[in-house]
Amino acid sequence: MSPRTIAGLLVAAGALIAAPSASAAVTATLDQACYTHVPTQGSDPIVATLTGGTPGAGFVLAAQAPGKPTGSSGSASGTFDAAGNATAQITDISPPSGTIGPTRGQAVSLTVQDFGAGGAEQPVGQTLVTNLALSVASRPTSPRAHRRVSVSGRPFAGQRLYGFVVKGTSRRVLRRLSLGTANECGFVTSRQIVAPRSFAPGSYRLYVNVGRTLDKSRALGSRFSITRRLL
């Protein structure tokens, strides 16, 4: 074999050694279908189990709302283990619209950058974000009229929700409302008469929780008043 041939083989071998091995696409498995933000208090972390990364390489997991920059809804970085696996958490995430009221769940997209495979953004799916919140429409103003009642939050997901009208701090239920079954983000909305059956003036609270029995320890509450007696 000629020296030129040997040199050519060595160059080819060197190229093979230097070329990085192709990495399979990273996949992500999330621990929940929807994540809950509690206004002024923070949120559930998005916990993602990553597989298929480059062993020992760094990565960034990022969340963003549609049309927004990468990481606009938060990000987390880490290093893949020897098997190309990792767990990452994105903390303090909130609905992209900025609302603090109930929402049926707002989508955020997730991407991973595997720096052992060039660092290009790889889409790995999307998830939903909601608020733990209760709202009661202020109109129509008559207590006898039906108002829009909306609630959301992962603790209510997939369960039947009821509302309970009580006077002040009393536990005596003056009206019970059937709101319906919540979606995967604990969201349900319904038009209801939000007032005691007597419609007597006074200060009242509407509580919402899972099940037909009032449980203030697991309920969301909203205060309202009736200022004059209705004929």
Is 60 exceeded by the pLDDT of residue 11? no
Of 16-20, 36-40, 187-191, 202-206, least confident by mean pLDDT is: 16-20
Residue pair 184/97 in contact (Cβ under 8 Å)? The answer is no
pLDDT bucket at 230, cuts 50 / 70 / 90: low
Beta strand 160-167 pairing with 146-152: unpaired
What integer is the mean pLDDT of 66-92? 95
Strand ordering across the sheet containing 160-167: 175-181, 160-167, 202-210, 220-226
pLDDT bucket at 229, cuts 50 / 70 / 90: low
| β-sheet bridge partners, residue 167 | 204
Q: Which residue has the higher pLDDT, 231 or 197?
A: 197
Q: How far apart are CA 79 and CA 86, in angstroms?
A: 7
- The Cβ of residue 222 has, within 10 Å, a number of other Cβ atoms equal to 17
H or E element, residue 3: helix 3-18
The 10s digit of each residue's pLDDT in 148-177 is: 999 999 999 999 999 999 998 899 999 999
In DSSP notation, 130-188 reads: EE-EEEE---S--TTSEEEEEEE-GGGTTSEEEEEEEETT----SEEEEEEE--TTS-E
Report residue 154 as tokens: 């992962």
Question: Domains in the chain, start-ordered, CATH in brackets?
Answer: 23-130 (2.60.40.230), 133-226 (2.60.40.10)
Q: Cα 152 to the chain's mean position, in Å?
A: 11
pLDDT bucket at 66, cuts 50 / 70 / 90: confident
Residue pair 75/63 in contact (Cβ under 8 Å)? The answer is yes
The 10s digit of each residue's pLDDT in 135-152 is: 999 899 899 999 999 999
Please state whether the predicted TM-score (pTM) of the whole model is above 0.85.
no
In DSSP notation, 65-87 reads: -TTSPTTTT-EEEEE--TTS-EE
Residue whose entry in the numeric block shows the structure tokens 């000629």:
2
pLDDT bucket at 24, cuts 50 / 70 / 90: low
